[in-house]
Amino acid sequence: MSVRPDMAGRIVCFGEILLRLAAPPGRMLLQTPALDACTGGAEANVAVSLALLGHRTAMVSVLPDNSLGRAALDSLRAHGVDTAGIRLRPGRMGLYFITPGAVVRPSEIIYDRAGSAYALANPGLYDWPALLDGAGWLHVSGISPAVGDGPAQAVLAAMRTARAGGVRVAFDGNYRSTLWAERGQDGAPLLLEAMRMADVLFAGPRDIALVLDRPELADPAREPEAARVAFAAFPHLDLLAWTRRAQHSVDEHELSAVLHTRAASVTGGSYRLSGIVDRIGTGDAFAAGVLHGLQTGMAPADVAGFALAAAAMKHAISGDFNLARADQIEAARAGVFDVRR
């Protein structure tokens, strides 16, 4: 595998930090006046998970200068994330509302992010050479460009600065059709530009088919071809990873994963997940697991196995953050389910 372990340097994550407001389990949104609140956001989820796995992580973002923004900042700091790169500015908090699914009713998410302090921030606010000084990795996702022109410019500037400075780039495709539709765009050209700068890419065949305008690659039977096409199209790409999910019901899934390099492919096994507590953030847990494996020098099969176990573990934890430690993830991977005393 051409991906080298890089033990030095912080992992810098850039994206919007959100307030999540969820209906209680089994209830529709506003069926009762109560909503469960927590902090979330794709890149913040990765930063928290990696911090809990023992890595030095830093979050770069903009939050509103009010009690909501400060509470979100404090939640990241409480989990060990360096928040010095988070700016407090006038404005509103980005929100999302979730109605948890059950039985045959799928979960539903409503975004309320337009005009947030992050969305309206001037991309020149971010001093990327300073923010990435001493970093080993930059982690960004395709959600930020979908939020607005400013975040889109900031993501590309961060990636260009990272590439120029020898900082490795991890990019999660995270295509959000609802957000792109609100902007009147499909997002493919910008995501293609970002993917061309990635060393590690979290994107499945449908993402590859979208950005390359190759709809036939979305066919699950053509996964190996989709990987080959991605490596041909993205010159810096060392590793391509995605999860596969078979849904038997809303709360019973089968989860597996595959990692591709230019030389080989490995899988991480599979998990039958019953009684799912919370699916949100599982892809971020997987991404954090891959980066953890690369940072600690795991063999390719172990990277895949650990990352998949991390994603499986997140299904048992409420909220956006994966709060599992490395030993708990390894126990899940080993199939150890006894009470721990």
CATH architecture designation of domain 41-60+126-334: 3-Layer(aba) Sandwich (3.40)
pLDDT at 46: 98
For the chain, where do the domains classified as CATH 3.40.1190.20 start and end? 41-60+126-334
Determine phi and psi for 100, rounding to 5 degrees.
-65, 140
The tens digit of pLDDT for each residue in 316-330 reads 999 999 999 999 999
- Specify the pLDDT at position 99: 94
Could you report the per-residue pLDDT of 253-263, keeping only the tens digit for each? 999 999 999 99
Average the pLDDT over 304-310 and give the result.
97
Would you tell me the crossing angle of helices 282-295 and 300-314 to the nearest 10 degrees?
Answer: 150
Average pLDDT over residues 262-270: 93
Q: What is the pLDDT of residue 175?
A: 86
For position 103, what pLDDT does the model report?
Answer: 85
Q: What is the mean pLDDT of residues 34-49?
A: 97
- Is residue 59 within 8 Å of residue 17, measured between CB atoms? yes
Region(s) of the chain under CATH 3.40.1190.30: 8-40+61-121
CA distance 16 to 199: 22
pLDDT in tens, 133-188: 999 999 999 999 999 999 999 999 999 999 999 999 999 998 888 888 888 888 88
* CATH code given to domain 8-40+61-121: 3.40.1190.30
pLDDT at 3: 44
> d(Cα 120, Cα 67) in Å, to the nearest integer?
19
Structure confidence at residue 285 (pLDDT): 98
pLDDT tens-digit map of 50-94: 999 999 999 999 999 999 999 999 999 999 999 999 999 999 999
Confidence of residue 8 (pLDDT cuts 50, 70, 90): low
Q: Please give the residue that has the higher pLDDT: either 6 or 234.
A: 234
Q: What are the pLDDT digits (tens) for 88-134?
A: 999 999 999 999 988 888 899 999 999 999 999 999 999 999 999 99
User: Would you say residue 1 has pLDDT above 60?
Assistant: no
Per residue in 193-226, pLDDT (tens digit) is: 999 999 999 999 999 999 999 999 999 889 999 9
184-222 burial, b at 16+ Cβ within 10 Å, e below that, comes to: eeebbebbbbbbbbbbbbbbbbbbbbbbbebeebbeeeb
Q: Sheet of 252-261: strands edge to edge?
A: 82-89, 57-64, 10-14, 135-141, 168-172, 200-202, 239-249, 252-261, 265-274
Rounded average pLDDT over 222-249: 95
Global confidence as pTM: 0.94
